Amino acid sequence: MNRNQAKLKILHVNIRSIKTKQKQILLKNLINKHDPDIISLNETYLTNKSKLQIGGFDIIRADRIAKKGGGAALCIKTQLVYKEIFLGNISGPDDACGLTVISGNQSISIFSIYSPPKAPLNQALFTKITADHKNYIITGDLNGLNKLWNCKTENKCGRDLEELINRKSLQILNNGSITYPRGKSVLDLTLTSRSLAQYKHTFTVLNDQISDHQPTIVTINNIKCARRKITFKKTDWDRYTELLSLGNTTPLQINSKPDLDIAATT
């Protein structure tokens, strides 16, 4: 793959519970259709007793502990090299998780944040992200209303977020399309550091219906994430011959792409 073909694709979904089989099927269809490298999930409704598996992806979770609902997760293709970012108590009222991938000689940090309605902007979380990381992408349902990103009304969280965007020189990747049709507003935002603004990108609000929020997908070109090295063991031809002599003629199968199974349990 040459530089012009390299790209990083991030799918964001406010799924409003991944526990149901219907939502798992809808998410599976989205993944098969768009083939994202990373998936941001908001309002997973998972608890620390829940299990979540998505075939071909590793999962980092930030479950809501104090009460029901909420939750965030990042799902990353298993063949990509990454490191989890531990946010600890800094996430405050938000459900937030992060990871870092390597592209060339630079690292890119990706965060999924779900901010509950009427919650104040988590200044400490955003300050830590912008202070600790040079290249970063923030995506999530931030519940901040502001006319700057095409909301008809504004709230305090949205005004504070606008001030932070200006102060930290963040780039808004949204194109003004509505992500929350019921409220005719843009609640799901994708923001990047100024250092990533040099990369061409496409941002799309998808028509796929999966909850009361529309999924979004951003593709950033000319970013090729490091992949794990795959090693193969030396073939034991003596053992292979022995198996044939015993009548075992079943050929070995190698799947280039794992089956995409999604399962969530409580």
pLDDT category at 261 given cuts 50, 70, 90 is confident
Q: What is the mean pLDDT of the chain?
A: 90
Angle between helices 123-132 and 156-168 (to 10 degrees): 20
Evaluate whether residue 167 is within a structural domain. Answer: yes
8 Å CB contact between 143 and 116 = yes
| Interval 106-116: pLDDT, tens | 999 999 999 99
Distances (CA, A) of 50 to 90, 200, 211, 266: 23, 38, 21, 4
Task: Give pLDDT, residue 23.
Answer: 96
Evaluate whether residue 213 is within a structural domain. Answer: yes
| Interval 108-157: pLDDT, tens | 999 999 999 999 999 999 999 999 999 999 999 999 999 999 999 999 99
| Interval 54-81: pLDDT, tens | 999 999 999 988 788 999 999 999 999 9
8 Å CB contact between 44 and 63 = yes
Residue 161 neighbours by CB under 8 Å, 6+ apart? 121, 142, 144, 146
Looking at residue 251, what DSSP letter applies?
P
Task: Give pLDDT, residue 18.
Answer: 96
Evaluate whether residue 120 is within a structural domain. Answer: yes
Domain boundaries, position 128: 3-225
| Interval 28-52: pLDDT, tens | 999 999 999 999 999 999 998 899 9
H or E element: which one contains 126?
Answer: helix 123-132
Say if strands 82-85 and 72-77 run parallel, antiparallel, or are unpaired. Answer: unpaired
Evaluate whether residue 255 is within a structural domain. Answer: no
Tokens of 201: 């990108």
Evaluate whether residue 245 is within a structural domain. Answer: no
Evaluate whether residue 249 is within a structural domain. Answer: no
Q: Averaged over 241-260, what is the pLDDT?
A: 58
| pLDDT top residue among 137 and 260 | 137
pLDDT category at 1 given cuts 50, 70, 90 is very low
Kindly provide the b/e burial profile for residues 16-27, where b requires at least 16 CB atoms within 10 angstroms of the residue's own CB: bebbeeebbebb
- Tell which residue, 107, 72, 91, 120, has the closest CA to residue 193: 107
Task: Give pLDDT, residue 89.
Answer: 85
Evaluate whether residue 184 is within a structural domain. Answer: yes
Place of tokens 């099927």: 25
Say if strands 106-114 and 136-141 run parallel, antiparallel, or are unpaired. Answer: parallel
- Tell which residue, 233, 145, 228, 229, has the closest CA to residue 189: 145
Q: Averaged over 222-226, what is the pLDDT?
A: 94
Task: Give pLDDT, residue 110.
Answer: 98
Task: Give pLDDT, residue 231.
Answer: 59
Task: Give pLDDT, residue 72.
Answer: 97
How many folded domains does the chain comprise? 1
Distances (CA, A) of 11 to 40, 48, 206, 239, 252: 6, 24, 10, 45, 34
Evaluate whether residue 238 is within a structural domain. Answer: no
Task: Give pLDDT, residue 109.
Answer: 98
| Amino acid occupying residue 109 | S
Rounded Cα distance between 111 and 157, Å, is 18
The answer on pLDDT for 215 being more than 60 is: yes
Task: Give pLDDT, residue 240.
Answer: 64
| Amino acid occupying residue 74 | L
Read out DSSP for 79-95?
A: TB-EEEEP-GGGGTTSE
> What CATH number does the domain containing 23 carry?
3.60.10.10
